[in-house]
Structure 1
């Protein structure tokens, strides 16, 4: 295998890994999984670096198509549905030559809708489900159901799921007496990422401290003592500071002892 072939192989593998980890997600504004007919809804593809090259797609009971192909209006990097209708109910996602994002379900209701999170919620979080009537717009008492089973009445029209877990996953809907029932929306719960905690600093036992001191003494003392003895001998033999002892002046040897002492204290 030539060097050029090896380089191209590595480049291809790197590109493959890059594309497989390419992250983009679809956002919806206002953030809800259900809407009343006639509302304006904006969808955009968001990626860490830029949204260039990504297009909003959908799959409805009619056909699979991209924004601008018979539905929606492209405004920059945003796809706007100015007047959403029941026929716009379907699965939406972002697509490009690099792959596709995870999909979300958008439902267009009639007289009653259930406002719930669009994306999967994090395990342990609190989640609010709001049951709303088209008219009147103020909150009304509502009954809530999970997987077709009644789970409670809420006078405010809001059901709060505390510290959600996988057992809270399912299809939810609500009913407002005299107004009707909402479509169903699925609540999905994703695992909470493991907490990253810093390891506590190691504690030193008295024995470890004693061994550390002893080790420093073993390293420092022989050099210090030998140098000190050499200076003492030279000083007694040659009192004048300009004399040379062992190739060095007595003054230099004294300075060395002083430097070693300072380094040990540091």
Structure 2
């Protein structure tokens, strides 16, 4: 008994069983085919063919023969096993991916998993073509181009046999132009020290890439697609870019992204201005790098320290300025002081440093103390003696002259380099430009009164009133120069940057009003220009109050004399009435 082509076949193959009885004495045989386990005759032909074998045809077969025209009978043949296996289906894989980029190395591989066949011949087809373009298990494009894109499939035939596989499923190879990843950073801005920064190199979900990162064009380092820097430092700032590689193929570089790390610093400003009259509104504005969102703000006043440093005292109503604006609707004398702010990031516990200082100077309508300055002006020459005294209506004890300079330091007179304090009088022996600042009187309990901005200048100065000018009075300004005698200059006078009078030795503004309040300076074409001085105008209602009080007090003081006079006149009249005729 023989089996053609072989006893191990795949479903769908054609298999022929043949029964040969070799005996010279018998010319013709009847053939009988049986399948082990069945009593039914499978076939009575010498050859039995399964045109398309199925797994149910598998089993053990045998045959025997009987003489056609006689009684002789052959022996039963040996059993032959027919094995029927499912026809294998190849699987096509593409490395590195189904979607590749021009210039990459791409490998197509055809795998046929069947233990019964030891060697296959592979046949590759593209886009339904009947032409075989490759007979290798792996076909490699060393530098793929767009023309290599398409649909591929394969099948296999047994190298030394008749087995063949199914056709594989089609697999699509897509070839695109050069790839360029997109680099993103979160948060975008602003980023502060202590924050966490995440950079992501995105490639549209195409897999199999290794990502390379560089900063400021330095050496690349392989990292994950997402790069997170926890608690960043200023040194982490720079220009980042990324690219990816797969095998020997590299993508283009991403567009560079600049990451700037700030030291978070609060910046304090004042609106509308720092020089106020009692009752004026004012707003302190605290921002972190131009923004107030995402921060919680605290507000402080700067206090004097005898240890040559300044301390900060938290305002009792600091939470009122949590949104970045601390507003005072009506300034009081006790609002005079030097302010700073600080901010905290809500979620990351990142604190700013203390902001720059911003002073508020509130001039009272009727302050309890006056700062008397000699010479009586706000601008002074260098190398002269300057005296400042705090005087109130009762006595001058308990008052101290304090100074605030643009360098941000609060000092008392005894800490000046050339200053000395005697009682409530501060004396500066020889003025220098660094003596420029705001001076005021401070009580023993810490209350601040009567701030005056004093400047010391080498050249031209403006002579202007020390104290606010009362509405209705005259304002007189002069331009002085220390190296001529007399020191008066013929100069131009300006208010808030605009020329208001030119070429005069003395400018007089009669009947001043609130509109005359502003910054004044003078300018000489050869000697130069003075610094600016703030001139405030005080309402006249205080004078009216004082006049009314004076009238009332005078009337009350005259009452006893008036009563005595009336009594005397009454008695005199009665006596005259009783005189006999």
Q: Same fold (TM over 0.5)?
A: yes
Take 2:495 and 2:458, find their aligned partners in 1: how far apart are those partners?
Answer: 20
Cα deviation, residue 137, structure 1: 3.2
Give 2:403's match in structure 1, choosing from 34, 51, 58. 58
Matching of residues 1-266 of structure 1 within 5 Å: 23-62=368-407, 63-71=409-417, 72-98=419-445, 99-138=447-486, 139-155=488-504, 157-193=505-541, 194=544, 196=548, 262=577
Determine if contact 2:367/2:449 at 8 Å carries over to the other structure.
no
Take 2:401 and 2:367, find their aligned partners in 1: how far apart are those partners?
Answer: 16
Describe the SS at the equivalent of 2:534.
Answer: strand
Take 2:432 and 2:511, find their aligned partners in 1: how far apart are those partners?
Answer: 34
Cα deviation, residue 22, structure 1: 8.0
Take 2:494 and 2:467, find their aligned partners in 1: how far apart are those partners?
Answer: 20
Q: Which runs of no fewer than 5 residues in structure 2 stay unpaired?
A: 1-333, 335-365, 553-573
Take 2:457 and 2:416, find their aligned partners in 1: how far apart are those partners?
Answer: 21
Cα deviation, residue 158, structure 1: 1.0
Describe the SS at the equivalent of 2:499.
Answer: strand
Cα deviation, residue 96, structure 1: 1.9
Deviations, residues 167-195 of structure 1 (Å, cap 9, x unaligned): 11111000112100000001111011325
Cα deviation, residue 77, structure 1: 3.2
Change over 3 Å in CA distance of 1:143–1:22 after alignment to 2? closer
Cα deviation, residue 262, structure 1: 4.6
Question: Which is higher, the Rg of structure 1 or of structure 2?
Answer: 2
Take 1:150 and 1:22, find their aligned partners in 2: how far apart are those partners?
Answer: 33
Determine if contact 1:40/1:84 at 8 Å carries over to the other structure.
yes
Determine if contact 2:401/2:424 at 8 Å carries over to the other structure.
no
Take 1:96 and 1:87, find their aligned partners in 2: how far apart are those partners?
Answer: 25
Determine if contact 1:133/1:176 at 8 Å carries over to the other structure.
no
Where is the helix percentage greater, Structure 1 or Structure 2? 1
TM-score computed with the length of structure 1 as normaliser: 0.64
Determine if contact 2:441/2:449 at 8 Å carries over to the other structure.
yes
Cα deviation, residue 198, structure 1: 6.8
Change over 3 Å in CA distance of 1:198–1:60 after alignment to 2? closer
Change over 3 Å in CA distance of 1:125–1:22 after alignment to 2? closer
Cα deviation, residue 134, structure 1: 2.0
Change over 3 Å in CA distance of 1:65–1:97 after alignment to 2? same
Deviations, residues 30-58 of structure 1 (Å, cap 9, x unaligned): 10010011111001110111111111001
> 1:228 matched to which residue of 2?
none
- Number of residue equivalences: 184
Q: CA RMSD in A?
A: 2.5
> Which shows bigger deviation, 60-69 or 29-38?
60-69
> 2:179 matched to which residue of 1?
none
Cα deviation, residue 75, structure 1: 3.0
Deviations, residues 175-225 of structure 1 (Å, cap 9, x unaligned): 1121000000011110113253979xxxxxxxxxxxxxxxxxxxxxxxxxx
Take 1:198 and 1:137, find their aligned partners in 2: how far apart are those partners?
Answer: 46
Take 1:57 and 1:39, find their aligned partners in 2: how far apart are those partners?
Answer: 20
